[in-house]
Amino acid sequence: MLHPHFLAMVEMAAARGIRVSANIHLTLLTLARAQRCVDSG
């Protein structure tokens, strides 16, 4: 995830009804980050 606040930005966008999609490098995706992605909407 390139931006340090990526997940917070996704959460803010989803809370406003904006659909978000992204392509990421899966070696950087930890279980905690994956769960936060799911939870963010």
Structure tokens of 19?
A: 């659909």
Give the pLDDT of residue 18. Answer: 95
Q: Would 11 be classed as within a structural domain? A: yes
Give the pLDDT of residue 16. Answer: 96
Give the pLDDT of residue 22. Answer: 83
Number of domains in the chain: 1
Give the pLDDT of residue 1. Answer: 55
The sign of the CA dihedral 20, 25, 26, 30 is negative
Q: Would 1 be classed as within a structural domain? A: no
Q: Would 25 be classed as within a structural domain? A: yes
Q: pLDDT by residue (tens digit) across 1-41?
A: 578 888 899 889 999 999 988 887 778 788 888 888 788 87
Give the pLDDT of residue 38. Answer: 83
Secondary structure element (H or E) that encloses residue 38, with its range: helix 31-40
Q: Domain range for residue 22?
A: 6-40
Secondary structure element (H or E) that encloses residue 34, with its range: helix 31-40
Give the pLDDT of residue 34. Answer: 84
Q: Would 26 be classed as within a structural domain? A: yes
